[in-house]
Structure 1
Amino acid sequence: MFHLFLLLLLFLSPPHPSLSLTQDGLILLHYPNLHLPDWNPLDSTPCNWTGVTCHPTTSAVTALNLSNLQLSGPFPTSICLLPSLSSLSLSFNNLNSSLPSSTFSSGCARLRHLDFSQNILTGPIPNTLSSLPNLIYLDLSFNNFSGEIPASFSHFRRLESLILVNNILNGTIPFSLGNVSTLKTLDLAYNHFLTGTIPKSLGNLTNLEGLWLAGCDLVGLIPSSLGNLNRLQNLDLSRNMLTGAIPETLFLGLKSIIQIELYENFLSGELPEMMNVTELERFDASVNGLSGKIPSELCKLKKLESLNLYDNKLQGSLPECIAGFENLYELKLFNNTLKGTLPSDLGNNSMFQTLDVSYNHFSGEIPANLCGGGTLQELMMIYNSFSGRIPESLGNCKSLIRVRLRNNNLSGTVPEALWGLPHLYLLELVENSLSGSISNAISGAKNLSILLMSRNMFSGSIPDSIGLLESLVEFVASHNSLTGSIPISMVKLSQLDRLVLSDNELSGEISEGIGEWRKLNELDLANNKFEGNIPKELGNLPVLNYLDLSGNHFSGEIPFELQNLKLDLLNLSNNQLSGDIPPLYANENYRKSFLGNQGLCGGLSGLCPRPTFGENKNTKYVWIFRFIFVLAGVVFVVGVAWFYFKFKNFKKMKKRFNMSKWRSFHKHGFSEFEIVKLLSEDNVIGSGASGKVYKVVLSNGEVVAVKKLWAVNKVETESVDSEKDGFEAEVETLGNIRHKNIVRLWCCCKSGDNNKLLVYEYMSNGSLGDFLHSSKKCLLDWPTRYKIAIDAAEGLSYLHHDCVPPIVHRDVKSNNILLDSEFGAKVADFGVAKFFRGVSQGAESMSVIAGSYGYIAPEYAYTLRVNEKSDIYSFGVVILELITGRPPLDPENEDKDLVNWVTSTLDQKGEDQVIDRTLEIKHREEISKVLSVGLICTSSLPITRPSMRRVVKMLQEITSVPKSRSGRFSPYYQEEASENDHQGNIV
């Protein structure tokens, strides 16, 4: 009846200008929200319209592919009136209603392929879908379908693919699905089913080639009946709460399995014998509770390419047969309790790209030919007991990108060629017994960004050639026996962020020209033999946060320019300094910073020797002190009188901003009262939804930014969700974190009548958004934009990975990324930030949407579920802004959002039409790679977005990472766990 009613409406509708258009064409024109520019009602047939496929002889519409066309509104039910329609795809649109059951009970009878993925469809899945007798492919993934999987799905007779990934389905997995014997692909991943087990009936699906049940809240044992699936190629049971051992019978029938992923469960018990699974190419049982030994039956897997058993409780040694796998390119065993030696011929026959055995108890020598195939990119062996020398052959491994050998018992010299590998990004040799000197060959390591070699026995001088490493960001060589001076050539290292050379035998003066270290955040030269004056140029380093020059022979006065720095740590103790302490540091908070300098005088008692009074001089000194006390008394009386008159004039202001309400988070040299006096309308530099921002120039010359929040009444406060208001969130967040890429909150004030002030460091170039979307955009060349992207990524990475608990910003956008005078970027505005104590459990639900249009992740916008992946999507939009120069919503293009514009333009016109034309063409390759990072971050599927730590790594390695094999990872979880789980401070 429903479709008869639609037909009646169709015939009663006003006639189109053309009477020759076929009935199928009239049906397609019935829904205005489907109309595309070339759907012309004057055509005789719709066969040449976008997305339409017709029968070659009858011109009947047989297929509609309207994917990724920004269609919105409800599902166009009249489509099912097309009598010959066999394929319908409406994926990657914004359809936002429920699917009427009646639509499929009497229409779409010839459908074989139905794809509604990546929309905003809601409500239950229609149980009438199973009445489509010819349906072979059904994809409803990445929507908001709720309720249970219909029991009627057991009636499908031809269905081969059922894909329901990433909805909000509940209930349990129906036992009756085991009756759909034609199924080849069953994908139910990332639905929060009620706690239940894997139905044993799935073992009846003997045609099944892919079974994905990741993230389904499953418990209990893996049913042994899955061993009946002898055509299974992909099995993913990851991110559940399964227990017990992997059943041996699982491997008895799997003759052609290609991928098994059982990671991120709570499995326990020993790994079973692998039996006859001789076709296995990828075996991943990582992040479980597996115990026992790695079974020797693994040797039967001659085609094995990837073996991931990390984050378990595995014991024993590594089977010798591992070395015989010719196709093995990935071996990750970190975070277990494995012991013994590695097979001596490991790598001889394999094409390793990644080898990670960190955090185990391996011992013995490192196998000599790990890079036998010439493809090894990442070698991670940290926190073991490896001994002996580093193999000379590693120096010939030109493909190496990351080498991490810290905390072992390695000795001898580092192979000379290893210092100079051309693609090497990270070399970590910390906590060994290595000796010898840093080779001049290091000049060849043009891509070296991080060099960590502390706590060894290195000697000799730092070679001048180290100044050729333009990409060097961190150089940490403390606790060695290095001698000589810091090479003058090192002043050229403009990217240097950390320089730690403490506890060596270095000498000489600090070279002039260190003012070029504009990005230096930490300088630690403690406990050496440096001499001469402390350079005034140190005071001009804009982001220097940590300065330790203690335990040396520095002399002369402390440069007053050091007051320009915003230091979290200053240590000049145990030198030969003299003169006055700069006023900013002449207080008790910095006492320990100046101890052990005999000639140092200032306002701190006890730093300078007390004068001794002889008996013949007592009278003279008594009169001197009497005079001083009288003078002090006069000054005190005058001061009290001055304060009284000033207090009367300031009484009203004090009522509004009570000093007892001020809280400081960093050491600063200004008065809070002075800030309140300077809050005039002439100093306003910005105004927004939360309040006004003032630029305040203080009497000591320092400039700060002050945000005065609008007063919030009780009703407004209660209308906000139960989270803290913007002031409390900002204070709780910025008051407890320290990072060079997070804007500093100096202090804050909250008075009883809802007046609130936040005092920040002043960022002279304003926000990235203001710069990027104005006439000043031409000042942002590509190297500047690239560095801004890295700075902002490092700030967000700190929030997500280094804060406990992690912090989700929730309003990442270009206007909340501020730029200093050198275009260094810092993340700001934490008014809606959230301490995310539930990250390990998944997304946390919010009661209202926080964020800005154009930046809000799709899943957040229509489910209110938020985690760190929401920030990553927003950051991806910022990357696209940097590359395109366009705003997140384009008012000249019907407010089309930037992500969709970029993806559609790339598909239709290519990269040239996406990249900002003001950027120089010589940077094209680098821009293209950064664009790829932005597109990954803005993936509509949260699980495929990389972590921020991974984003930082990808951006930093953007010019040097060689291509590796593709298609080897799960389509739902591509992030490399080893990057996140044991990386420490290394990115």
Structure 2
Amino acid sequence: MLSLLFLLFLLPRSSLSLNQEGLSLLQAKSSLFVPDNVLSDWNPSDSTPCNWTGVTCSSTSLAVTSLDLSTFSLSGPFPSALCRLPRLTFLSLSENDLNSTLTSSSLQGCSSLYHLDLSSNLLAGPLPSSLPSLLPNLLYLDLSENHFSGSVPPSFGQFARLRSLSLVGNKLTGAFPHFFDNISSLRELNLSYNPFSPSPIPVSFANLTQVRILWLTGCNLVGRIPAEFGRLSSLLDLDLASNSLTGSIPESLAELSSIVQIELYNNSLSGSFPSGFSNLTQLRNLDACLNHLSGHLPEDLFLAPNLESLELNENNFVGPIPATISQCKKLADLRLFSNQLVGALPADFGENIPLSFVDLSDNNLSGEIPANICASGLLGELLLLNNSFFGSLPESLGRCRTLTRVRLGNNLLSGEVPSAFWALPHLSLLELSGNSFSGGISPAIYSATNLSMLLLSDNHFNGALPEEIGALVNMYEFSASNNRLSGPLPMGLQNMAKLGKLDLHHNFLSGEIPTIIQSLKKVSQLNLADNEFTGSIPPEIGYLPVLNYLDLSGNKLTGEVPMELQNLKLIQFNLSNNQLSGRLPPLFATQGYQNSFLGNPGLCTDLTGICPRTRGNDSQRRVFVWLLRSVFALAALVLVTGAGWFYWRYRNPKKAEAETEKSVWKLTSFHKLGFSEHDILDCLDEDEVIGTGSSGKVYRVLLANGETVAVKKLWGNSVKNYLEHTFGDGFEAEVSTLGKIRHKNIVKLWCCCTHKDCKLLVYEYMPNGSLGDRLHSSKGGLLDWPIRYKIVLDAAEGLSYLHHDCDPPIVHRDVKSNNILLDAEFGAKVADFGLAKAIGNGPKSMSVIAGSCGYIAPEYAYTLRVTEKSDIYSFGVVILELVTGRYPVDVEFGEKDLVKWVCSTMEQKGVDNVIDSRLSSPCFKEEICKVLDIALLCTASLPINRPSMRAVVKMLLEVAPENMLKPSIKHSKPCS
């Protein structure tokens, strides 16, 4: 009351005409931070607030009945002054930045509310248990996408009239709440994406006979789907996806006569699919992919008259696709990939079905592709790869102008491709590789101007490449290896400015390699091996800015190797088995490039295997052998002398012991210290070991001055191996270099203590441990998206400092989530420089592979060349860990790693299936997708295509430029 009087005192005299409800609204506004030009028309000189933004009044009493201030970027605690509006029935403050806790006192007086929406804010703390008694008339309550924590209060089962409740995307824990069955009025219950403890689905939910939407995705549910759910006669949408449910799908679900959508994907369900689904006359979407369902596809499933989307992919279904599928008059989306289906498709498949998306890949299907598969004229994507389809492509596919993606790779298809099929105007991906197609590429392909990937390898295509192929200006990849193509390269290639990969190896192409190839400024892979090209290698190839894969082997090329090729940063380079001659450019005249020039007897170098050995070479070899023997003799003399001295020096054990005791610890500090080496040694306690590795242990040490540090102790032979492998004989110099690093996102190395074969590295202590431990433990759900985003940005800035601001630049070589440590505020710092290397003026070659499984860049395994691009790949894997919540290597991926799993899953099922279910993805989806795109750039297979760390930092800052800790959620949208 005093605050209201104070507000009255501050208002101008003209505002005294404003009624009491207007004053309450102004007080609520004054308790919030309100951006400029928002609520600017809340004028205190008005007599009533009925014309103010967001305010609705009764037409008779002029009392405020509704207030909608959603998406206004308001911040601060919940404005309790709003509860002084006695007739307020509708209140929405969604998609703002309200913070603090939601208390009972702040809602005192809001008893008239029917509708309360506080979704997508920053409210935290426990849910107020008194809410049902404070809001007895409530029909609609939405508290989703906040930071509420703790258990759901049992009192929430006492709402008398509630119809819709949403607690989606919070941090609610404890047992899954079972008491909502007491609210018989419920029509919609949304509890998804909360880290509840493992709990079964309450059987009592079957009593919610009026519920229409039951959304329990990502709630850590275990056990079986209750058969009693067949009693939910009003149910329209059942979503139990992304849990750990087991057992079979209950037959009783076929009794849900009103059901429109069923989502059961990403569980551990098993058994056969239940029969009786023909009774589901309203069913439009059924998604039960990523389970362990088996048996035959039930024929009556395809008799549900309104079925529009069916996703049963990645199960264990066997047998043929039932002929009854042709009776699904509304089926548009069919995904049955990754099963064990066999047999031919029904002959009338597609005739009476409005198919738009068909994916039957990775089965054992056979027979011909049905002629009328695109009879509806709506088919956009046809994915049949990795089956046994045979016969030719139906002519009717050439008239299916809606097609955008066609993947028919790895089948038994043959014959010529219809000319009209090459000309489809909207086609962006055409994959025919791994078949037996013959004939030529039609000149009509010039009409396929949207084509970006043309994959024709491993077929029997013949004839010349048509000049018209140059019209495909959007082409990124053209692969037609292992065919029978002949003739010269068409001059039209110069128009394909976006081409990144050109692979035509193992054909019969001839003529000279044209100089117009210099127009392909974005090509990174060029493979023309095993053809019949003649003439010289165009020097212009050396000016292709991003080319790093060049294979011209197995041709009839002549002349010298152009000096200009030295400009290229090549990972794969092969000019062997040609007719080249002359001297090699200096950069290539080394043993490292020997295999790149084999089978060119005209090349004149000193590389073994390239040129015949001369007598002069024999003489030089004899001199070398004599010198080598002399060195061995001198080394033996030194060894014998040293052994004798050692025996004389230490023949008295007591004297040796006395000499050992004289040795002392040496401390090398890199910062001003408040402790000595003795303080460290006195506090090393085995009970305080916080980590153990191959080279030693890490201790948490509480010093006498109250400071806590982390001490890494390297011991025994591990020390010798660790130091030699890591630093060679320059340990002190390297540690000194690392000790001079000064950056907020690099773990601080306080000092180094050395004593004989023992080394102590003293670091600042990071109380929240490593990102890997935190992310993959039971506490991973506490890392919400704003925190994960901050961690990614912090780590990127630390690595950017190493790559761009250190002289010489430092490559970490072991970037992984376990080497990113978190301070008390979850700030991230890069740690563990055990494998770091200063790269100086260029890449370093290593004798062995270093790094951690799942994080190692693909090129490192076969080149052993260290560059900053290796770190960038590893960092991209860390980002994928943060986005997906998965390990870099997992048995679930099979032979894939995390990078390949993300790419294939996104392609087949979309981005929603890779995002960590613990993230509040609906709220932050746009930001998550942007960061995911950055991760995929960082993990590009070719190093040249990866951005620099400085560019990565810039891109991350652009994800949420206004507020790093809370990326904008006002206009979230899916990834493209």
Q: With the length of structure 1 as denominator, give the TM-score of the two structures.
A: 0.69
Q: Taking structure 1 as reference, are residues 870 and 577 closer, same or farther at Cα in structure 2, changes over 3 Å only?
A: same
Matches within 5 A, 1:357-372: 357-372=360-375
Which residue, 4, 16, 19 being the options, matches 1:10? 4
Q: What is the Cα deviation at residue 859 of structure 1?
A: 12
Return 397-406 or 71-80, whichever deviates more. 71-80
Secondary structure of the equivalent of 1:219? Answer: strand
Show CA shifts across 1:960-984 (max 9, x none).
xxxxxxxxxxxxxxxxxxxxxxxxx
Secondary structure of the equivalent of 2:49? Answer: coil
Q: Taking structure 1 as reference, are residues 761 and 216 closer, same or farther at Cα in structure 2, changes over 3 Å only?
A: farther
Show CA shifts across 1:711-744 (max 9, x none).
77687643486449846996236899xxxxxxxx
Contact 1:33 1:71 in 2 (8 A): no
Matches within 5 A, 1:491-502: 491-502=494-505
Q: Taking structure 1 as reference, are residues 806 and 826 closer, same or farther at Cα in structure 2, changes over 3 Å only?
A: closer
Q: Counterpart in 2 of 1:295?
A: 298
Show CA shifts across 1:733-792 (max 9, x none).
6899xxxxxxxxxxxx9999x997455889xxxxxxxxxxxxxxxxxxxxxxxxxxxxxx
Contact 2:924 2:969 in 1 (8 A): no
Q: Counterpart in 1 of 2:784?
A: none
Which residue, 108, 111, 117 being the options, matches 2:113? 111
Matches within 5 A, 1:877-892: none
| Matched-pair identity in % | 45
Q: Counterpart in 2 of 1:150?
A: 153
Q: Counterpart in 1 of 2:813?
A: 732
Q: Counterpart in 2 of 1:30?
A: 27
**In structure 1, C-alpha distance between the alignment counterparts of 2:833 and 2:959, rounded to whole Å:** 41
Q: Taking structure 1 as reference, are residues 733 and 352 closer, same or farther at Cα in structure 2, changes over 3 Å only?
A: farther
1:261 aligns to 2:258 (yes or no): no
Matches within 5 A, 1:280-679: 280-611=283-614
Gap runs ≥5 in structure 2: 628-669, 671-721, 752-760, 772-794, 803-809, 818-830, 844-851, 858-867, 889-914, 938-950
User: What's the C-alpha RMSD, in Å, of the aligned pairs?
Assistant: 4.5
Return 595-604 or 260-269, whichever deviates more. 595-604
Query: Larger RCO: Structure 1 or Structure 2 (Cα < 8 Å, ≥ 6 residues apart)?
Result: 2
**In structure 2, C-alpha distance between the alignment counterparts of 1:389 and 1:755, rounded to whole Å:** 56
**In structure 2, C-alpha distance between the alignment counterparts of 1:101 and 1:627, rounded to whole Å:** 91
Contact 1:730 1:831 in 2 (8 A): no
Secondary structure of the equivalent of 1:226? Answer: helix
Secondary structure of the equivalent of 2:812? Answer: helix
Show CA shifts across 1:21-65 (max 9, x none).
111122122242445322222222222222111222322211111
Secondary structure of the equivalent of 1:98? Answer: coil
1:19 aligns to 2:26 (yes or no): no
Give the letter for the 2:4 counterpart: L
Give the letter for the 1:299 counterpart: F
Matches within 5 A, 1:890-929: 896=962
Q: Taking structure 1 as reference, are residues 601 and 427 closer, same or farther at Cα in structure 2, changes over 3 Å only?
A: same
Show CA shifts across 1:117-169 (max 9, x none).
00111111112221222111100000111112221122222111111111111
Gap runs ≥5 in structure 1: 1-6, 614-620, 634-655, 665-671, 680-686, 692-708, 737-748, 763-802, 809-819, 845-857, 905-934, 940-944, 947-953, 955-987
Q: What is the Cα deviation at residue 379 of structure 1?
A: 0.2
**In structure 2, C-alpha distance between the alignment counterparts of 1:243 and 1:829, rounded to whole Å:** 37
**In structure 1, C-alpha distance between the alignment counterparts of 2:762 and 2:52, rounded to whole Å:** 54
Which residue, 209, 213, 224 being the options, matches 1:210? 213
Q: What is the Cα deviation at residue 311 of structure 1?
A: 0.9
Q: Taking structure 1 as reference, are residues 577 and 876 closer, same or farther at Cα in structure 2, changes over 3 Å only?
A: closer
Q: What is the Cα deviation at residue 172 of structure 1?
A: 2.5
Q: Taking structure 1 as reference, are residues 78 and 902 closer, same or farther at Cα in structure 2, changes over 3 Å only?
A: closer
Secondary structure of the equivalent of 1:499? Answer: strand
Give the letter for the 1:113 counterpart: H
Give the letter for the 1:202 counterpart: F
Contact 1:730 1:830 in 2 (8 A): no
**In structure 1, C-alpha distance between the alignment counterparts of 2:451 and 2:596, rounded to whole Å:** 34
Q: Counterpart in 2 of 1:648?
A: none
1:226 aligns to 2:229 (yes or no): yes
Contact 1:62 1:86 in 2 (8 A): yes
Q: What is the Cα deviation at residue 886 of structure 1?
A: 13
Q: Counterpart in 2 of 1:139?
A: 142
Contact 1:730 1:829 in 2 (8 A): no
Q: What is the Cα deviation at residue 602 of structure 1?
A: 1.7
**In structure 2, C-alpha distance between the alignment counterparts of 1:720 and 1:502, rounded to whole Å:** 55
Matches within 5 A, 1:946-957: 946=975, 954=976
Q: What is the Cα deviation at residue 276 of structure 1?
A: 1.6
Q: Taking structure 1 as reference, are residues 807 and 82 closer, same or farther at Cα in structure 2, changes over 3 Å only?
A: farther
Contact 2:423 2:445 in 1 (8 A): yes
**In structure 2, C-alpha distance between the alignment counterparts of 1:710 and 1:602, rounded to whole Å:** 50
Matches within 5 A, 1:231-250: 231-250=234-253
Q: What is the Cα deviation at residue 201 of structure 1?
A: 1.0
Q: Counterpart in 1 of 2:169?
A: 166
**In structure 1, C-alpha distance between the alignment counterparts of 2:934 and 2:509, rounded to whole Å:** 47
Q: Taking structure 1 as reference, are residues 688 and 77 closer, same or farther at Cα in structure 2, changes over 3 Å only?
A: same
Return 352-361 or 316-325, whichever deviates more. 316-325
Which residue, 191, 194, 201 being the options, matches 1:191? 194
1:872 aligns to 2:929 (yes or no): yes
Show CA shifts across 1:772-816 (max 9, x none).
xxxxxxxxxxxxxxxxxxxxxxxxxxxxxxx974799xxxxxxxx
**In structure 1, C-alpha distance between the alignment counterparts of 2:521 and 2:725, rounded to whole Å:** 30
Matches within 5 A, 1:58-97: 58-97=61-100
Which residue, 801, 809, 834 being the options, matches 2:878? 834
Q: What is the Cα deviation at residue 406 of structure 1?
A: 0.5
Q: Counterpart in 1 of 2:636?
A: none
**In structure 2, C-alpha distance between the alignment counterparts of 1:900 and 1:720, rounded to whole Å:** 23
**In structure 1, C-alpha distance between the alignment counterparts of 2:341 and 2:918, rounded to whole Å:** 45
Q: Taking structure 1 as reference, are residues 257 and 38 closer, same or farther at Cα in structure 2, changes over 3 Å only?
A: same
Q: What is the Cα deviation at residue 597 of structure 1?
A: 0.5
Q: What is the Cα deviation at residue 434 of structure 1?
A: 0.9
Q: Counterpart in 1 of 2:676?
A: none
Q: What is the Cα deviation at residue 834 of structure 1?
A: 2.7
Secondary structure of the equivalent of 1:834? Answer: helix
Contact 1:334 1:359 in 2 (8 A): yes
Q: Counterpart in 2 of 1:982?
A: none
Contact 1:806 1:836 in 2 (8 A): no
Q: Counterpart in 1 of 2:828?
A: none
Q: Taking structure 1 as reference, are residues 420 and 900 closer, same or farther at Cα in structure 2, changes over 3 Å only?
A: farther
**In structure 2, C-alpha distance between the alignment counterparts of 1:735 and 1:550, rounded to whole Å:** 38
Contact 1:269 1:289 in 2 (8 A): yes
Give the letter for the 2:174 counterpart: G
Secondary structure of the equivalent of 2:228? Answer: helix
Contact 1:807 1:835 in 2 (8 A): no
Return 41-50 or 588-597, whichever deviates more. 41-50
Contact 2:222 2:246 in 1 (8 A): yes
Q: Taking structure 1 as reference, are residues 320 and 496 closer, same or farther at Cα in structure 2, changes over 3 Å only?
A: same
**In structure 1, C-alpha distance between the alignment counterparts of 2:832 and 2:210, rounded to whole Å:** 67
Secondary structure of the equivalent of 1:166? Answer: coil
Matches within 5 A, 1:264-279: 264-273=266-275, 274=277, 276-279=279-282
Secondary structure of the equivalent of 1:577? Answer: strand
**In structure 1, C-alpha distance between the alignment counterparts of 2:856 and 2:69, rounded to whole Å:** 39
Q: Taking structure 1 as reference, are residues 337 and 555 closer, same or farther at Cα in structure 2, changes over 3 Å only?
A: same
Q: Taking structure 1 as reference, are residues 288 and 501 closer, same or farther at Cα in structure 2, changes over 3 Å only?
A: same
**In structure 1, C-alpha distance between the alignment counterparts of 2:328 and 2:53, rounded to whole Å:** 50
Q: What is the Cα deviation at residue 300 of structure 1?
A: 2.7
Secondary structure of the equivalent of 2:305? Answer: coil
Secondary structure of the equivalent of 2:379? Answer: coil
**In structure 2, C-alpha distance between the alignment counterparts of 1:835 and 1:860, rounded to whole Å:** 16
